[in-house]
A and B are shown apart, each in its own frame.
Chain A
């Protein structure tokens, strides 16, 4: 027991020393754009927080005032459109950088020892960024925001189906509803929802910012591992996009009318399509299990190689996830969902592709074993027996 704890501490201390939150240890000059993703993440994050604080000067978190205050920021207050545009597009950039960075870490095997903790933090970052996203776009109090908040927080209500199975207390112990009510501030979307979402939206970033600052202070690493040219380029991109494509306002929230069709922010679209396909209990459990699986990947993938072809099964899983993300996003944008036909098709494709991946993995391993057997042993007998 004591040694196990000591081993765990040792493991954790080692991974913490090798923690690489924003690719700040990888390369000095960010010549490779793949390793620019970490600094991009940090840059877009800081810009999002700073512009968000500027927006807080004018924003009013009440159902009556929220939409009007955004209208005023966008159209009346000098440079309001710019701060709002920068906030929105920097947040999009942040999410994009996190997602691309996770895929890079996945396909390049960076989650392997000693990168496990870095991988877990990348995932936690993605989840918290998505929560910030959804709590943030409710604040506009437009149609998309209102219905997104309502549907997302109806999902936990179905967890009551699980807790109802607990004997005696199950009927009353509606923990799913309780979670939803805690976030909504009651059984309906209202004024309390807005203040609670506002607090979470701001709080998540501030807490993480303090943690990141502690991290940089203790490791003495460079905060923004990026030269001036990309900084200027990204800043210009944000300003130009905000000018050319002003951040959307949408229509004011109307609790009695759901528009057709209605879409969420781009990074939720694939999930939205998935929710159409599954019973509502699985709308909550599915993403939860996927996130759990994603976080545990470093402990599930015990292969030695880092190159994708050296671990065929996990390579196939990664490609499948990417393809599903893109295909589901495309399907929902064209409003295609034939619910009788598609879920069995998706399930069948998944099983077939995963089986193919497994077959590839087994074949690869057999070849490796054959190659190892054919090769004459280099080391003296006995020492290489475990090789």
Chain B
């Protein structure tokens, strides 16, 4: 059968009709998306979350003197402003945190801090501050000073002998974390969590532990 030149023309015309269709979809899709999510820049469909940046206020979590004993801890609340698609445009919400004095120095997991425009004054410390928002699905986990309580109340996990100290445990899906793990502070011992809890960047000022900001990510 001989090649039919009309088919090629038809295909060409279809292609030419298709291009404006894609453009039209983009032209309609972008405003539709912006109706639902007004902080997407026009036609910036490939960077939809670029403007959902969270900002926080520095807060004093505890004084160094408060944490004089190993395993001493203080809960604190760090306030952040979240973009919100309401007439106010933002929402302030508390990020619960826990600052813990460990029995030994560890290397702080602060590789993310330089990207936030801060320089590290120290990289090792006995004091570490965790965000209590579980990195799994966002529940608030607890600092459990007595490990037996983890076994009885959080799904029956029994830690190995060298980890029988204070642990952190989430009531929702039973992830268990070890705050004092020397290689990876907050290591996941059990449960579905994909990573250790996020940490706070803090500085020591006049004997006070000043919380500056939290590692970004997750839902609050």
Interface residues on B, range: 35 or more
Separation in Å of the A196 CB from the closest CB of chain B?
8
Partner-B contacts on A (CB < 8 A):
147, 150-151, 153-155, 157-158, 169, 172-175, 177-178, 180-182, 184-192, 195, 255-262, 275-281, 283, 335-340
Chain A residues contacting B220 (CB-CB under 8 Å) are 187-189, 255
- Nearest chain-B residue to A277 (Cβ)? B192
> A260–B142 Cα gap in the complex (Å)?
10
Q: Are B52 and A186 in contact (CB under 8 A)?
A: yes
Q: Which of B22-30, B43-51, B179-187, B202-210 contacts A (4 or more CB under 8 A)?
A: B43-51
**Does B77 interact with chain A (Cβ within 8 Å)?**
yes
What are 21 A-B residue pairs whose CB atoms fall within 8 Å in the complex?
Answer: A150-B137, A150-B139, A154-B138, A154-B219, A157-B219, A172-B46, A172-B50, A177-B52, A178-B37, A185-B86, A186-B84, A186-B86, A188-B82, A188-B220, A189-B220, A191-B88, A258-B139, A260-B153, A277-B192, A280-B137, A336-B156
Q: A272 to B82, alpha carbons, bound, how many Å?
A: 28
Asked if B93 contacts A190 (CB within 8 A), the reply is yes
- Asked whether A258 and B170 contact (CB < 8 A) given A182-B36, A187-B54, A191-B84, the answer is yes
Q: Mark B124-158, 1 if CB is under 8 A from A, else 0.
A: 00000000000011111110000000000111110
Q: A187-B52, A192-B84 are in contact. Are A339 and B140 (CB under 8 A)?
A: no
Docked complex Cα distance between A147 and B140 (Å): 9
Question: Which residues from B are CB-within-8-Å of A277?
Answer: 192
Chain A residue nearest in CB terms to B86: A192
**Is B172 in the interface zone, CB < 8 Å from A?**
yes
Q: Which residues of B contact A261 (CB under 8 A)?
A: 171
Flag if B139 contacts A147 (CB, 8 Å): yes
Contact across chains for B192 and A256 when beta carbons are under 8 A apart: no
How many whole Å from B161's CB to the nearest CB in chain A? 16
- Given the known interface contacts A190-B82, A340-B157, the answer about A158 and B47 at a Cβ–Cβ threshold of 8 Å is no
Per DSSP, chain B at the interface is loop
Known: A188-B93, A336-B156. A150 touches B219 (CB 8 A): yes
Give A306 to B94 CA distance when docked, in angstroms.
Answer: 57
Q: In the complex the two chains form, what is the Cα distance from A169 to B50 in whole Å?
A: 12
Please tell me if the beta carbons of B137 and A154 are within 8 angstroms of each other in the complex.
Answer: yes
Q: Is B58 an interface residue (CB 8 A)?
A: no
Q: A154 near B86 (CB under 8 angstroms)?
A: no
Q: Which residue of B has the minimal Cβ distance to A175?
A: B48
Instruction: With a 10 A CB-CB cut-off, give which of B37, B85, B93 has the most chain A CB atoms.
Output: B85
Count contacts between A and B, CB distance < 8 Å. Answer: 143
Report the separation of the CA atoms of residues A169 and B190 in the bound assembly, to the nearest whole angstrom.
34
Nearest-CB distance from B106 to chain A (Å)? 25
Most chain B CB inside 10 Å of its own CB: which residue of A169, A175, A189 = A189
Task: Give CA–CA (A182, B194) in the complex, Å.
Answer: 24
- Cα distance, A247 to B68, chains bound together (Å): 49
A180–B153 Cα gap in the complex (Å)?
31
Please, which residues of chain A bring their CB within 8 A of the CB of B48?
173-175, 177-178
Measured between beta carbons, the chain A residues less than 8 angstroms from B107 are none
Known: A147-B172, A174-B48. A186 touches B137 (CB 8 A): no
Query: Which residues from chain A contact B170 at a C-beta distance below 8 Å?
Result: 258
Nearest Cβ on chain A to B28's Cβ, whole angstroms: 17
Q: Output the least CB separation between A171 and chain B (Å).
A: 9
Nearest A residue to B81 via CB reads A188
Report yes or no: B50 in contact with A190, Cβ–Cβ below 8 A.
no
Cβ contact within 8 Å between B85 and A186: yes
B173 contacts chain A at the CB level, 8 A cutoff? yes
Instruction: Report which of A155, A185, A255 forms a contact with B137, defined as CB distance below 8 A.
Output: A155
Q: Which of A173, A189, A339 contacts B157 (CB 8 A)?
A: A339
Q: Is the CB of B171 within 8 A of A259?
A: yes
Q: Does B191 belong to the interface (CB within 8 Å)? A: yes
Kindly list chain A residues whose C-beta atoms are within 8 Å of the C-beta of B96: 256
CB of B103 within 8 Å of the partner chain: no
Known: A184-B219, A336-B155, A339-B190. A256 touches B86 (CB 8 A): no
**Minimum distance in angstroms from A270 CB to a CB of chain B:** 14
Say if the beta carbon of B83 comes within 8 Å of chain A: yes
**A189: B residues at CB distance < 8 A:** 219-220
Given contacts A188-B84, A190-B82, A261-B171, contact A153 B219 (CB under 8 A): yes
Q: Across the interface, which residues of B come within 8 angstroms of A279, CB to CB?
A: 192, 194
